């Protein structure tokens, strides 16, 4: 499947555009401290990111054998979100070359969108604080629609909203969630190797794997 000269680039957020794991760790550990539980490491958090805040908490409590039910998960989520919302960009930064590549793509008339499982409100806040929100034509969060990644529906919604054919679009992400969403939508998938997945086997199924965001420039003639 060709990936050259696409009109629409759709990006995952956490682990693709922004290194958010440090702030996830800070807020998860704040929550754990409130519960008198031991903290988690940055490496553990990196392997749990990509499925939304609720799933991040679920993976944390399962890994640490913390007794829980759905009501308890909701209580933990409130603690986490209260801290994370107020500290969302304390340690989060754009990955290398993200800003200049986004500017390059915009200058070349390419539409840009974000498809993330992060809550839409938090995604907008983070990208605004990092001064790149204005570069994107559309953003879909994990709570924006009735379905989220790995379902292809959010990607199809983005193509429809931006009046762009699926064949003229490409998904850029770092995880199996992004891979399955892109493949399910019928568009090529570029995976970044610097992201949060610990499943390197998925690289064999991607149309392209890049080690640096600047390599995306090579897809534009």
User: Mind telling me the catalytic residues?
Assistant: 12
- Token readout for 174 is 């770092």
Point out which residues pair with 59 in neighbouring strands.
none
- Token readout for 52 is 């939304």
How many residues are present in the chain? 221
Q: Count CA atoms closer than 13 A to 67's CA, side-chain side.
A: 0
Give the span between the Cα atoms of 159 and 10, in whole angstroms. 9
Find where tokens 């989220």 sit: 148
Find where tokens 């682990």 sit: 15
Does the bond joining 150 to the residue before it have cis omega, within 30 degrees of 0? yes
Give the span between the Cα atoms of 32 and 49, in whole angstroms. 17
């Amino acid at each position: 499947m060709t990936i050259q000269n696409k009109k629409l680039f759709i990006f995952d957020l956490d682990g693709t555009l922004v290194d958010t794991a440090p702030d996830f760790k800070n807020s998860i550990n704040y929550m754990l401290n409130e519960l008198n539980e031991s903290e988690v490491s940055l490496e553990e958090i990196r392997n749990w990111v990509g499925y939304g805040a609720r799933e991040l908490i679920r993976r944390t409590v399962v890994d640490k054998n913390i007794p829980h039910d759905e009501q308890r998960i909701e209580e933990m989520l409130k603690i986490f979100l209260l801290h994370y919302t107020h500290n969302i960009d304390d340690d989060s930064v754009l990955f290398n070359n993200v800003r200049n590549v986004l500017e390059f793509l915009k200058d070349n008339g390419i539409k840009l969108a974000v498809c993330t499982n992060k809550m839409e409100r938090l995604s907008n806040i983070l990208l605004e604080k990092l001064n790149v929100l204005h570069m994107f034509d559309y953003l879909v969060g994990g709570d924006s629609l009735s379905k989220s990644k790995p379902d292809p529906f959010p990607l199809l919604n983005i193509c429809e909203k931006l009046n762009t054919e699926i064949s003229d679009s490409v998904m850029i992400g770092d995880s199996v969630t992004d891979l399955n969403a892109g493949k399910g939508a019928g568009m090529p998938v570029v995976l970044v190797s610097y992201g949060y997945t610990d499943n390197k086997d998925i690289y064999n199924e991607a149309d392209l794997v890049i080690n640096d965001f600047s390599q995306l420039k090579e897809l534009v003639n």
